[in-house]
Structure 1
Amino acid sequence: MPTRKQATQSVWTRPQSRREQPALSQEQIVSEAVRLLDAEGIDALSMRKLGARLDAGATSLYRHVANKDELIELVVDEIYGEIELPAADDTGTDWREAAAHCAHSLRAAILRHPWIASALGELGLSHLGPNMMRLSEEMLTLFSRAGFPLDEADQAVRTLFAYVTGMTTSEAAWLTTVARSGQNEQDWLDRLWPAAEEAVQGHPHLREGYAEARGRDPHESRDNNFHYGLDRVLDGLATRLPPAPTGLRPA
């Protein structure tokens, strides 16, 4: 007798319960989970602790989510809902400007919620969330209208998002480490510099780079690093576009 295939476990694939209206809504659960994560980080998240914050038992939460993994899928999609979408329906929109705006908005969202740096590596079918689907559709529309074939538009969007999440999750992890020290970023770096300069003594290029970086505003340096990489990604993607048609030569 053939075995029945089970659906992939995800909050986006599980049939929703049709039982009586629960006391807690999914929106309440997700909003409180985001507040908990922002305040205490990913390690503090548990169904029991979240239930206590909502003055409800964990059983009430299980009406909406089967486990912690599904809860993480929901809260991450909630954060994707904060990202400003490109104005893809505006035919006059410059694709690079719109893509850069979306990239900066994604970076800002990750830095507002640095715990997401850890959560992104644990996600299952996050791409099926409504906010992520909406973001993906708008970005594909933007790149398609810029002249990318649809299959390459998809690869271009993936490349852009991979750059932003890669750079920004590292940045978020760094800022989380600084926050745990109880110091601001500048004070943390000032205390770190002597050890860093000692470590690079045998590496001339690194030694020169560290010497040039000392005294710079760390926030400004992080911004500049992100801008540089983003511009280079967009430069590379631009080479994949067909050349713009030239106008007719005057008689």
Structure 2
Amino acid sequence: MARDTLTQEHIVSTAIELLDEEGLEGLNMRSLGKRLDSAATAVYWHVKNKDNLVLLAADHVWHEIELPDPEALGWREAATRLAGGLHAMLGRHPWLVPAFGTYLFYGPGKARYDDLCLATYESAGFTAAEADRAAATVFTFVLGSALSAASEASLTRRLGRDGDDAKARFEETMTKAAEVARRFPRLRARLDAPEANAYAAAPEGSFEFGLQMLLGGLEAELAGRPAR
């Protein structure tokens, strides 16, 4: 594909596909150019470098999150949907989770999301400073909740690149972890229960449970304030 027929939008969407499949470590201009049937130099004409491309890709996927109306739904339902939408997006694009350790993300997609989060908590009755803290707390919870799936995806890719049977190696490691855990009574009881998950796996519904506990605490803080 010639330089003048490439577009930044096409480059970014193709980069997202590559990131979803190969993670941050699998993204480079040569691999991207091959997918685009174009020379890497032509890609550089539209994006400055890999770091710039990651920022553009991240902001693009932020637009996937549907923005609810807190006035129509109420602040808690809107906050639930905002957090759930972010969590689902991070699940679709697990490379974004570890990228927070090395990139400072910004752009209109993230900004529109952040702005509505603040508006949602302000509509609940929090001051601007309190809304900042509430939004940051919920965001940190969502990011932490997405970490396990992102780590598993990264580990599976790494094992696969090493030429190993990634699934078998992963299951072998989890088996060893469970053997250690069984030395401790509460962990042993949970692992031996009929409905047990794999060791270190979050029980089903953990994200939803944690989010509602967190939002419930924020709601209780508001309810405990003296009437103005």
The farther-off stretch of 62-71 and 146-155 is 62-71
How do 1:207-218 residues align onto structure 2 when only pairs under 5 Å count? Answer: 207-212=188-193, 214-215=195-196
Q: Structure 2 length normalisation: TM-score? A: 0.81
Identity of aligned residues (%): 37
Partners of 1:86 and 1:139 within 8 A in 2: no
Partner secondary structure for residue 239 of structure 1: helix
Partners of 1:48 and 1:57 within 8 A in 2: yes
**2:91 is aligned with 1:111:** yes
Tell me what 2:208 maps to: 227
**2:18 is aligned with 1:36:** yes
Partners of 2:197 and 2:203 within 8 A in 1: no
How do 1:1-251 residues align onto structure 2 when only pairs under 5 Å count? Answer: 22-88=4-70, 91-124=71-104, 126=105, 128-177=106-155, 183=167, 194-212=175-193, 214-215=195-196, 222-241=203-222
Aligned partner of 1:238: which letter? E
Partners of 2:63 and 2:110 within 8 A in 1: yes
Q: Specify which structure has the higher proportion of helix.
A: 2
Provide the rounded CA distance (Å) in 1 between the counterparts of 2:139 and 2:38: 37
- CA 1:53–1:22: 2 relative to 1, 3 Å: same
Deviation at 1:178, TM superposition (A): 5.6
Deviation at 1:231, TM superposition (A): 1.6
Partner secondary structure for residue 84 of structure 1: coil
Partners of 1:110 and 1:169 within 8 A in 2: no
The farther-off stretch of 77-86 and 159-168 is 77-86
Aligned partner of 2:47: which letter? V
Aligned partner of 1:228: which letter? F
Structure 2 unmatched runs, 5+ = none
Partners of 1:86 and 1:102 within 8 A in 2: yes
Partner secondary structure for residue 147 of structure 2: helix
Provide the rounded CA distance (Å) in 1 between the counterparts of 2:188 and 2:177: 9
Partners of 2:156 and 2:167 within 8 A in 1: yes
Paired positions, count: 217
The farther-off stretch of 49-58 and 160-169 is 49-58
Work out which of the two has the higher radius of gyration on C-alpha atoms and give 1 or 2: 1
Partners of 1:22 and 1:63 within 8 A in 2: no
- CA 1:133–1:56: 2 relative to 1, 3 Å: same
1:170-223 Cα offsets, whole Å, 9 max, x none, are: 232225546755659xxx76x6675344212331122122223755599x9544
Q: Structure 1 length normalisation: TM-score? A: 0.75
Partner secondary structure for residue 241 of structure 1: helix
Provide the rounded CA distance (Å) in 2 between the counterparts of 1:56 and 1:178: 29
Partner secondary structure for residue 234 of structure 1: helix
Provide the rounded CA distance (Å) in 1 between the counterparts of 2:123 and 2:44: 43
